[in-house]
Amino acid sequence: MKKIFLSFIPMLAFLISMPGCQQNAPEEIVTPVDTATVYNPDTTIQTEYTIFLYGNAGGAMDDCIENSWEAIMPVLKDRSVRFVSCYKYGKPSEDFAGKYGQPGMLTIFELTCATDLAKAVDDDSEQWPDFDMYDPAWLSAFIDMGKELFPAKHYAFILYGHGGGFDATSDYEAPTDAKNSIKRAAIYDEWFEGKGSKRALSNKEFAQGIKNSDLQKMDCIFMHNCMMGNLETLTEMVGTTDYIITSAHALAAMQTDNILAFVKAIAHNQKADMPTILTRMMQYTDPHWYTAYQDDPMFANGDIEALRLNEIPKMNNNIKRLGDRIRALYPTQQASIDQATDNVYKYTNDLYFFDTEDYARLLAQNTKDTELEAIYRDIKAGFQDMTISRLEAHSNPDAPFDHLSLSIYLMDKDTYNGVQVDPQDTLLQTVRREAYEQTTFHQTTGWGNWLNTNAKVPTNNPTGLAL
């Protein structure tokens, strides 16, 4: 661990000593910034927040992170809020969209309002396509380096890339071995895909990387990854932070910038508590966030929420009650329960993520069971207690719900016990049940026992994402 940490120090120490980070002359800035804004490197200014960004999104989307860098530069006027980015560019292709970096380039630098992005990303970065960002030890080293070079009162973390909730085939070194890594990746790396391998930082490994760092815990984590707002994912993150930002749908990252809203909320409200900062973030979010879901048929519905992560254990207790009760009722109320399974809101039409609160509501409504009604009320109240602030976009006329919660894994028992094959790499195979029952969520709630009981294939569900 010490060796890994020390290998990071010379690289970043060099990058933050670049003239672009020290000069105040606006004419030397080659990237789009407000030329009236000058970075103040006054070392007497106390750093309230250091914000880490760590990720990879693939060559066709590298322009998204570049746009975010450009957008937040004017906000970073002095050392009170510092922003440290570790980003790896994707593979070369005709769709490669990076304008500052080249394919496979690993860039680590401090972003300020005076950063010359062309120099920070290109001239002074390493060509390192085989750099394994998905080793939690590297993540810990990056955090340790940031703490050493950019000490602050508070620390926030942005995980940037492709997510997707629980998926049985992700991140297994051996195609049929569900024990190597048991969570859907928090971020993928297209440099490591193919021939039965899909290297990725799993949710479990992401949590390990934070907990094993010198910080051990962040003040807030922003999971800027699609469909990570599910209970399986969030359960794994308990203990890494008290506050988390996530989305159960796909994020429309091309049309809006939630990262800018996050950084602005921190910079403009540095002395406030985190719930206040996160409420401000939702207020600062670009209004185009809503229109992005209206204008793109793939992004029919959307959500982004700021949550109290320490409410997850209480929610999981209610999920255990829900699963135990419907299993007990299934022999006598199968038709009513199957109807609920067939009508619950589905977040995307090709994955197995369904709305938790909506499912509890339909189960209670259809069975008229007083115990399920009480469980539903507790689940609804639990989501209210968990939620600090949220935004929702409802554009799909086939799914006219006015409220969403978080997703949960749901399928019939045959699918649950079946082999999942990655459509892009048939060597990647695993039994869903073997993978799922190793999750912390299942071990806490026993939810897989319901999946192993349910005979109904969900088929008529309204959906919010046309993938």
Tens digits of per-residue pLDDT, 443-456? 999 999 999 999 99
Same domain, 358 and 306: no
Residue 162's pLDDT band (cuts 50, 70, 90): confident
At residue 178 the predicted structure's pLDDT band, cuts being 50, 70 and 90, is very low
Contact present, 110 and 86 (Cβ < 8 Å): no
What is the span of the domain harbouring residue 18?
2-311
pLDDT band at 11 (very low <50, low <70, confident <90, very high): very low
- Asked whether residue 201 falls in the same domain as residue 147, the answer is yes
Encode pLDDT of 97-137 as tens digits.
Answer: 888 988 888 888 999 999 999 888 765 566 666 677 778 88
Looking from the CA of 112 toward its CB, the CA atoms found within 13 Å total 26
Which residues does residue 420 pair with via DSSP β-bridges, in sequence order? 430
Residue 229 has pLDDT above 80, yes or no: yes
> What pLDDT is attached to residue 173?
38
What's the token pair of residue 187? 């971020």
In a domain, 467, yes or no: no
135 located within any domain: yes
Higher pLDDT, 257 or 412: 412
Strand partners, 419: 431
Q: Would residue 264 count as lying in a domain?
A: yes
| Residue 458 falls inside a structural domain | no
For residues 119 and 87, membership in a common domain is answered with yes
Q: Residue 180 above 50 pLDDT?
A: no
pTM for this prediction = 0.87
Q: Decide which of 13 and 198 is more confident.
A: 198
Handedness of CA 408, 413, 415, 417 (dihedral sign): positive
Question: Final residue of a domain: which of 295, 311, 327?
Answer: 311
Regarding whether 337 and 307 lie in a shared domain, the answer is no
Helix/strand/coil for 185: strand
Distance CA 199, CA 192 (A): 5
Does residue 360 sit in the same domain as residue 270?
no
Cβ atoms of 15 and 109 within 8 Å: the answer is yes
User: Which long-range contacts (C-beta less than 8 Å, at least 24 apart) are formed by 13-17?
Assistant: 13/149, 14/124, 15/108, 15/109, 15/110, 15/120, 15/124, 16/109, 16/110, 16/149
Q: Are residues 273 and 342 in the same domain?
A: no
Percent of the chain with pLDDT over 90: 50
Q: What is the pLDDT of residue 214?
A: 96
Residues 203 and 237: beta-carbon distance below 8 Å: yes
> Is 114 a domain residue?
yes
461 lies in a domain? no
Are 224 and 350 in a shared domain? no
pLDDT at residue 154 in the model:
98
Query: If we measure between CA atoms, which residue out of 145, 144, 107, 146 comes closest to residue 129?
Result: 107
% pLDDT > 70, the chain: 76
371, part of any domain? yes
Instruction: Write down which residue in 263, 278, 311 finishes a domain.
Output: 311
Residue 376: what are its φ and ψ, rounded to 5°?
Answer: -60, -45
* Angular region, 430: left φ>0, alpha ψ -120 to 50, beta rest: beta
Per-residue confidence band for 199, with pLDDT thresholds at 50, 70 and 90 = low
How far are the Cα atoms of 15, 124, 125, 272, 359 from residue 100, in angstroms, in the given order? 15, 11, 11, 35, 46
In the chain, the number of structural domains is 2
Q: Output 404 or 340, whichever has higher pLDDT.
A: 340
Determine which of 190-199, 262-271, 403-412 has the lowest per-residue pLDDT on average.
190-199
CA-to-CA distance for 281 and 245, rounded, in angstroms?
Answer: 10
Q: Write out pLDDT tens, residues 315-349.
A: 999 999 999 999 999 999 999 999 999 999 998 87
Considering the domain architecture, whether residues 97 and 173 belong to the same structural domain is answered as yes
Residue 248's nearest CA partner among 234, 263, 265 is 234
Single-letter amino acid code for the residue at 129: P
Distance CA 157, CA 84 (A): 10
- Region 186-195 average pLDDT: 59
Burial class (CB in 10 A: 0-12, 13-18, 19+), 1: exposed
Confidence check: pLDDT of 17 > 60? no
Of the pLDDT bands very low, low, confident and very high (cuts 50, 70, 90), residue 35 is very low
pLDDT at 430: 74
Angle between helical axes of 258-268 and 62-72 (0-180°, round to 10):
30
Q: What share of the chain is helix, strand, coil (3-state, %, to 5)?
A: 40, 20, 40
Are 305 and 243 in a shared domain? yes
The answer to whether the CB of 73 falls within 8 A of the CB of 33 is: yes
Question: Which is higher by pLDDT, 16 or 78?
Answer: 78
Distance of CA 417 to the CA centre of its chain: 27
Q: How many beta carbons lie within 10 A of that of residue 216, not counting itself?
A: 12
Location of structure tokens 């799914």 = 399
Domain membership of residue 463 (yes or no) is: no
Average pLDDT, the chain: 81
What average pLDDT does range 209-215 have in this prediction?
Answer: 96
CB 462 within 8 A of CB 394: no
Give the three-state DSSP class for 305.
strand
Residues 294 and 336 in one domain: no
Domain boundary among 283, 311, 339: 311
Nearest to 245 by CA among 158, 358, 133, 152: 158
pLDDT digits (tens, 9 = 90+) for 246-299: 999 888 765 568 999 999 999 999 999 999 999 999 999 877 777 777 776 666
Neighbours of 195 (CB within 10 A): 9
Helix 136-149 to helix 2-15 angle, to the nearest 10 degrees? 50
Asked whether residue 293 falls in the same domain as residue 406, the answer is: no
Q: Are residues 226 and 183 in the same domain?
A: yes
Residues 6+ apart with CB under 8 A from 104: 88, 89, 90, 91, 92, 127, 128, 129, 191
- Predicted confidence (pLDDT) per residue in 56-113, tens digit: 887 778 888 999 999 999 999 989 999 999 998 888 888 888 889 888 888 889 999 9
Q: What pLDDT sits at residue 126?
A: 61
